[in-house]
Amino acid sequence: MKIRASFSTMLLVLGTWMVAQAEQPKLIEKRKSVVKVYTVDSRDQLSVDNQYGQVKINLWDKKEIRVDVSITANAPTDQRAADYLNAVTISEKREGNVITLRTLIDRSQFGSSNWNSWRSKPGEKNSIQIDYVVNMPKFNALIVRNKFGNTDIPWFQAPLTVQSRYGNFSAEDLGNASNTIEVAYGKAKIGKMDGGKMEIRYSDFDLDQARTLLLINKFGKLTIGEVGSLEADIDYSGATIGRVNESCKVNLSYSGNFQVNQLPHSAENVDIQAAYSSVVLPAESSQFNVTVTHGDFRLPTNLKVNFTNQPSKTDSYRSTKQYSGTVGSGTGTIIKVVSTFGDVRLKD
């Protein structure tokens, strides 16, 4: 009886699944392609403004820019897929030294319903995908704005500006110091970066190596392997930095744990202003000046420490305490930390 009951249950589940699959309308796919080719010299700049798709940048040796745009629409009916496809146009403009390509979506043809509700009616699966593949010389500056899609730039040597929303940004090697990159509601991953400005919000940021970096990081996880000079505002984001080679100036707020693992002799100074955040720094041979308010300060126990200033026993009740001195020979990095409502630890 149990075997029959189990078999009946399996048949019922299988039948329900088959009915659901049968009721699901088969999607119709339609595609169209747009190709743009421009002869350029080193003074020209390309600007791409896209939505609902990927932007991929490749470099080549030709003195021309080629942009291949692939537009794909899926809908339950042939007419609806065609409507999707026809709603998308790629505008182009060449004015002076600037070439601009922009994805435009005509939402007016969908009547009183807005674009998003039209794209997701109950029981239907509709989609539109607009993908750019750009081949361009290495000497031309580039601006990319992309929403609801990923942006991939493996290698780039010229000035670069990227604004990514609701998508991921990835790059392997950005060899120019003039980089301005904004990522929100996605992930950012960069291999090597010569320098620039980055603003990361509501996103995780993973950077292997940078020479100089000006950073704003809010609401996410930050990981940097190695950086020469870093200036950063970090809020509501945990941060781990493997190595700082020259200098580090950071403002922290509600950032959980901020940690630097290595400070070589080439690192001249570290300046941290922290609120509601814990700070962990290496201090094998350094000078330190640390002020904590409503927090604790800890030093390595197995290294020589000389204080030039520290709280006396009668100061133990004070909420603010100031410490200064040297660790080891004291010939290394100058460390300054001011912390409120957070602990500071110098480790060996």
Indicate whether 75 belongs to any domain: yes
Q: What is the mean pLDDT of residues 33-44?
A: 97
Give the model's confidence band at 118: pLDDT under 50 very low, under 70 low, under 90 confident, else very high. very low
pLDDT of residue 13: 46
Instruction: Say which residues have a Cβ less than 8 Å from residue 119's Cβ, sequence separation at least 6.
Output: 126, 127, 128
Place of tokens 């970066």: 193
Q: How many domains in the chain? A: 1
Tell me the one-letter amino acid at 278.
Answer: S
Indicate whether 295 belongs to any domain: no
Q: What is the mean pLDDT of residues 50-70?
A: 98
10-24, 141-155, 157-171, range with the lowest pLDDT: 10-24
Indicate whether 7 belongs to any domain: no
Q: Are 57 and 162 in contact (CB under 8 A)?
A: no
Give the model's confidence band at 25: pLDDT under 50 very low, under 70 low, under 90 confident, else very high. low
Indicate whether 343 belongs to any domain: no
Indicate whether 340 belongs to any domain: no
pLDDT at 280 over 50: yes
Six token digits for residue 185: 């509601």
pLDDT of residue 108: 76
Give the model's confidence band at 55: pLDDT under 50 very low, under 70 low, under 90 confident, else very high. very high
CA atoms within 13 A on the CB side of 143: 10
Q: What is the mean pLDDT of residues 209-226?
A: 97
Instruction: Say which residues have a Cβ less than 8 Å from residue 274's Cβ, sequence separation at least 6.
Output: 251, 252, 253, 255, 258, 337, 338, 339, 340, 342, 344
pLDDT of residue 311: 83
pLDDT, one tens digit per residue, over 245-263 is 999 999 999 998 999 999 9
Helix/strand/coil (H/E/C) assignment for every residue in the chain? CHHHHHHHHHHHHHHHHHHHHHHCCCCEEEEEEEEEEEECCCCCEEEEEEECCCEEEEECCCCEEEEEEEEEEEECCHHHHHHHHHHEEEEEEEECCEEEEEEEECCHHHCCCCHHHHHCCCCCCCEEEEEEEEEECCCCEEEEEEECCCEEEEEECCCEEEEEECCCEEEEEECCCCEEEEEECCEEEEEEECCCEEEEECCEEEEEEEEEEEEEEEEEEEEEEEEEEEEEEEEEEEEEEEEEEEEEEEEEEEEEEEEEEECCCCCCEEEEEEEEEEEEEECCCEEEEEEEECCCEECCCCCCEEEEECCCHHHCCCCEEEEEEEECCCCCEEEEEEEECCCEEEEC
pLDDT, one tens digit per residue, over 232-243 is 999 999 999 999
pLDDT at 119 over 80: no
Give the model's confidence band at 21: pLDDT under 50 very low, under 70 low, under 90 confident, else very high. very low
* Residue 131 lies in domain: 25-145
Indicate whether 79 belongs to any domain: yes
Give the model's confidence band at 39: pLDDT under 50 very low, under 70 low, under 90 confident, else very high. very high
pLDDT of residue 17: 47
97-106, 197-206, 277-286, range with the lowest pLDDT: 277-286
Q: What is the mean pLDDT of residues 5-13?
A: 50
Q: Are 334 and 287 in contact (CB under 8 A)?
A: yes
Indicate whether 55 belongs to any domain: yes
Q: Are 276 and 340 in contact (CB under 8 A)?
A: yes
pTM of the model: 0.86
Indicate whether 168 belongs to any domain: no
